[in-house]
């Protein structure tokens, strides 16, 4: 009832309403039951205007009285039951807020079962259920497509492709669930100040060839071995615990041309996947995992 008037104004509204109702009641009764209300007017002494216009002495029909009385009674009952008299909440305690709370509770009850069912279903079971997968796609479209693109193939060399074979943070259902729930913060520092142009050129050239056949004596190998192995691995296959991507496949988060690779190394990269644990419930997250884990 926070938006209803309180204190003085509430009292003032109550007084005004009650006094008005009482005045209306008095007016109605006085019109019908005043001592002289039904007295016949003596036609002799009756004033006549404009030649033939007489005041007459016809009382208003009685059903008007009952109608007026019943609207007054209705007002009184209404004001007793529902909010309307100042901040008095009414005997029924009705409010829009409690109506919303009621329907929210109904909603929770109706869907709690469906959700519990989804949570209890195996991933394969969900993947084989066309309806559930469509639901998953709707959730994906609403929550994820702005970044990862409508078809989940990534976007703008900033948001990773989710349907390729490379998983920066792991491809198992558990790892994907963890990614969605908790989010991920990738952290690669900027190497420009540490390595300088020459070393960056060499290591960039080296990692682009990594995975194909690159000479053991490539000048970039030394730079790589000294600075990059800890995260990207001795063979360049990456480390899902750190979100360090594989550098030996042809899949690049930010782009695999020499210029972009050099930019990644020089300025560092800090991709952030937001956490969805607060925003989505268990069933929704499970549906998304089923959609992405293949
Ligand atoms: C502290 C761990 C760490 C070290 C050390 C590190 N990296 Fe990274 N690197 C990462 C992470 C994490 C990412 C992913 C960044 C992201 O997703 O935004 C990354 C991304 C990259 C990328 C972008 C890959 C793509 O797919 O677009 C390149 C290129 C790269 N690193 C090269 C290097 C080189 C060369 C070195 C050594 C000079 C190096 N990294 C050292 C953690 C590291
Ligand atoms: C605000 C943009 C944004 C939204 C929204 C977003 N993501 Fe991401 N997501 C990212 C970024 C950026 C990364 C890469 C993080 C990194 O560089 O390590 C990422 C990474 C991921 C990864 C890890 C991929 C891998 O290779 O390991 C998964 C899985 C993922 N997102 C799923 C989702 C799902 C599911 C949703 C919707 C519930 C979603 N994301 C919504 C930005 C977003």
Predicted pLDDT of residue 67: 92
> Nearest to residue 254, comparing CAs of 235, 240, 268?
268
Say what the pTM is.
0.69
Domain with CATH 1.10.760.10 in the chain: 100-185+275-292, 192-270
- Does the CB atom of residue 168 touch ligand 2 within 6 A? yes
**CATH ID of 100-185+275-292, from 1.10.760.10, 1.10.357.10, 3.40.50.2020, 1.10.3720.10:** 1.10.760.10
pLDDT at 157 over 80: no
Which residue has its alpha carbon closest to ligand 1 atom 41?
228
Task: Indicate the top mutation candidate among 188, 190, 193, 268 to test ligand 1's pocket, ranked by most ligand atoms within 8 A of CB.
Answer: 188
User: For position 78, what pLDDT does the model report?
Assistant: 93
Nearest CA to ligand 2 atom 2: 147
Q: Output the pLDDT for position 181.
A: 92
Query: Tokens representing 244?
Result: 């360090």
Is residue 8 over pLDDT 80? yes
The ligand 2 atom nearest the CA atom of 169? 27
pLDDT band at residue 38 using 50, 70 and 90 as cut-offs: low
The lowest-confidence range among 86-100, 141-155, 161-175, 184-198 is: 86-100
For ligand 2, say whether the CB of 218 is within 6 Å of any of its atoms: no
- Residue-level pLDDT at 47: 78
Residue 36: the pLDDT is 62
- Please give the Cα distance from 105 to 108 (Å, whole number): 5
Nearest CA among 280, 277, 281, 286 for reference residue 133: 286
Q: Are 170 and 240 in contact (CB under 8 A)?
A: yes
For the chain, the C-alpha Rg in angstroms (whole number) is: 40
20-36: average pLDDT: 85
Q: ∠ CA(158), CA(127), CA(123), 5° rounding?
A: 90
CATH of the domain spanning 192-270, picked from 1.10.760.10, 3.30.365.10, 1.10.645.10, 3.40.50.300: 1.10.760.10
User: What is the mean predicted confidence (pLDDT) over 168-178?
Assistant: 89
- Taking the CA of residue 191 as reference, the ligand 1 atom at the shortest distance is 38
Work out which ligand 2 atom sits closest to the CA atom of 291.
Answer: 35
15 or 154: which carries more pLDDT confidence?
A: 15
> Which pLDDT score, from 0 to 100, does residue 5 have?
67
Which protein residue's CA is at the shortest distance from atom 17 of ligand 2? 271
Least confident of 43-57, 202-216, 219-233, 260-274: 43-57
- pLDDT band at 2; cut points 50, 70, 90: low
Ligand 1 binding site (Cβ under 6 Å of any ligand atom): 186-188, 191, 203, 207, 227-228, 230-232, 242-245, 252-254, 261, 264-265, 269-271
What is the per-residue pLDDT across 85-112, written as a single tens digit (0 to 9) for each? 888 888 887 777 777 877 777 777 778 8
Supply the pLDDT for residue 39: 63
Q: How far apart are CA 35 and CA 29, in angstroms?
A: 11
Q: Which two tokens stand for residue 30?
A: 């006085």
> What mean pLDDT is reported for the chain?
85
Measure 264 CA to ligand 2 centroid, in angstroms.
19
What distances in angstroms separate CA 52 from CA 48, 55, 57, 140, 203, one per listed residue?
A: 6, 10, 15, 84, 116
- Which ligand gives the minimal distance to the CA of 159? 2
Q: What is the pLDDT of residues 197-209, one digit of tens each?
A: 888 998 998 898 8
Query: Is the pLDDT confidence value at 262 over 70?
Result: yes
When mean pLDDT is compared across 23-37, 72-86, 267-281, the lowest value belongs to 23-37
């Amino acid at each position: 009832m926070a938006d209803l008037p309180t204190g003085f104004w509430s009292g003032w509204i109550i007084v005004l309403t009650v006094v008005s109702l009482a005045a209306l009641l008095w007016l109605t009764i006085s019109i019908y039951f005043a001592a002289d209300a039904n007295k016949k007017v003596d036609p002799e002494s009756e004033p006549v205007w404009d030649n033939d216009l007489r005041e007459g002495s016809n009382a208003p029909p009685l059903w008007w009285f009952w109608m007026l009385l019943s609207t007054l009674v209705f007002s009184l009952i209404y004001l007793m039951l529902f909010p309307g008299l100042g901040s008095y909440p009414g005997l029924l305690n009705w409010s829009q807020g409690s109506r919303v709370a009621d329907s929210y509770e109904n909603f929770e009850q109706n869907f709690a079962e469906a959700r519990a069912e989804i949570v209890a279903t195996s991933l394969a079971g969900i993947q084989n259920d066309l309806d559930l997968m469509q639901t998953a796609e709707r959730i994906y479209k609403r929550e994820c497509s702005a970044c990862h693109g409508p078809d989940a193939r990534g976007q703008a060399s900033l948001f990773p492709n989710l349907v390729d074979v490379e998983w920066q943070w792991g491809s198992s259902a558990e790892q994907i669930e963890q990614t969605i729930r908790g989010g991920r913060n990738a952290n690669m520092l900027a190497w420009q100040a540490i390595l300088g142009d020459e070393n960056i050129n060499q290591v960039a050239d080296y990692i682009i060839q990594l995975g194909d056949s690159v000479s053991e004596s490539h000048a970039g190998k030394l730079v790589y071995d000294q600075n990059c192995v800890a995260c990207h691995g001795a063979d360049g296959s990456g480390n899902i615990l750190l979100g360090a991507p594989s550098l030996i496949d042809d899949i690049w988060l930010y782009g695999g041309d020499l210029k972009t690779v050099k930019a990644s190394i020089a300025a560092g990269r800090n991709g952030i996947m937001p956490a969805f644990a607060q925003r989505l419930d268990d069933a929704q997250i499970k549906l998304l995992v089923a959609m992405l884990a293949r």
